[in-house]
Amino acid sequence: MEPFDLIDTQQKAREIYDPKKLFELWEEICQRFERHEIGIYELDEMKDVIWPSLQQLAVLRRAVNDQPGRPAKFRRRKTG
């Protein structure tokens, strides 16, 4: 595995708009932390970049899924 470059990895995270790929990147960051390849500072810095992006993508996905003009088969059912 290549050495961790915080600045490059942060830039990469900012350019990802696919939630699955962001989760994969976060998983990679967590694994590096568990193997002591990075410290708490790098983990926190990456968390500050990745989690807001995931939250924004989740809000966008909910807005798209709840559009009234979408066919019912593409809308999520509301529970509760």
Q: How large is the average pLDDT for residues 56-65?
A: 77
d(CA 45, CA 6): 8
Spell out the residues 6+ positions from residue 4 whose beta carbon is closer than 8 angstroms to its own.
Answer: 32, 37, 38, 42
76: phi then psi, degrees, rounded to nearest 5? -80, 145
pTM for this predicted structure = 0.69
Least confident of 2-16, 21-35, 50-64: 50-64
pLDDT tens-place string over residues 14-46: 999 888 899 899 999 999 999 999 999 999 999
- Give CA–CA dist 33/25, Å, rounded: 12
Report pLDDT for 76.
58
Report the distance separating Cα 75 and Cα 64, nearest Å: 8
- The per-residue pLDDT of the chain, averaged, comes to 85
What percentage of the chain reaches a pLDDT higher than 70? 81
